[in-house]
Amino acid sequence: MRNQFEKQLQQLNEDLISMGALCKEAVADAMTALLYSDKQARQKAFLTEYEIDHKERDIESLCMKLLLQQQPVARDLRNISAALKMISDMERIGDQASDIADITKYLENSELTQHVHIQQMAEAAMGMLTDSIEAFVKKDLLLARKVMKQDDVVDELFNQVKSELITAIAEESDQGEICIDMVMVAKYFERIADHVVNIAEWVEYSVTGEHKAHE
């Protein structure tokens, strides 16, 4: 029984890692669609979001099974409940990547991406995502905490992008609509970074038993 339980926990860990990899893929595709008006990447972001949703449901069922059949305690219980929380953040990252991909339809061949700090912002969010998954895989507390701090960088870039876009609208108001679309894209990257911070906090919780946001 115990042996089977450990196998299932191992399975859960692997599933989480592969769901994290899917999130990275979706965000990377959304970035490519945005920066290079790449239609294939856009389509891939949608498909990956679909896969992420599917994965979420699988992991959810596995967690429910573990909770009900094994009645885990202490660290195991913590890992399972952290997993349940983490997957809902991952699922939302998938949603946001797909939302970004959706908006790129309206930004095709626009040069706006080169005039505002959206690439830097996207890369910063992507870097945080990569680090949070690594922190999870390696149970690396320091890396998880680094991720939490990096959020300020994304927030600052978001403010910068917003003010660049305000200037762009003021200078050329017939560009207004695509500027507003770009604000949305920036907002989604900012949200992605927020969910990544949550993931990092759940890594911390599963390692230490303490959860920052709940203190």
**Contact residues for a copy of itself (CB under 8 A)?**
64, 68, 162-163, 165-167, 169-170, 173, 176-177, 179-180, 183-184, 187
Cβ of residue 154: shortest distance to a copy of itself, in angstroms? 16
Among 73, 70, 93, 106, CA closest to 23: 93
Q: What is the DSSP letter of 109?
A: T
Cα separation, 179 vs 165, in Å, equals 6
Q: Which residue number, 3 or 214, has a Cβ lying nearer to a copy of itself?
A: 214
Considering only CA atoms, which of 50, 99, 96, 153 is closest in space to residue 107?
99
Q: Return the number of the residue (84 or 153) whose C-beta is nearest a copy of itself.
A: 84
- 8 A C-beta contact, residue 27 and residue 126: yes
Q: Kindly report the CA angle at 61 between 56 and 62, in degrees rounded to 5? A: 100
Measured CA to CA, the distance from residue 59 to residue 17 in angstroms comes to 11
Comparing CB distances to a copy of itself, the nearer of 170 and 213 is: 170
- In the complex, what is the shortest distance from the CB of residue 145 to a copy of itself, in angstroms, rounded to a whole number? 25
Q: Which amino acid is at 41?
A: A
- Min dist CB 200 to a copy of itself, Å, is 20
CB 105 within 8 A of CB 44: no
The count of other CB atoms within 10 Å of the CB of residue 20 is 24
- Smallest gap from Cβ 175 to a copy of itself, in A, equals 9
Identity of the residue, 47 or 166, whose beta carbon is nearer to a copy of itself in the bound complex: 166
Min dist. Cβ of residue 127 to a copy of itself (A)? 25
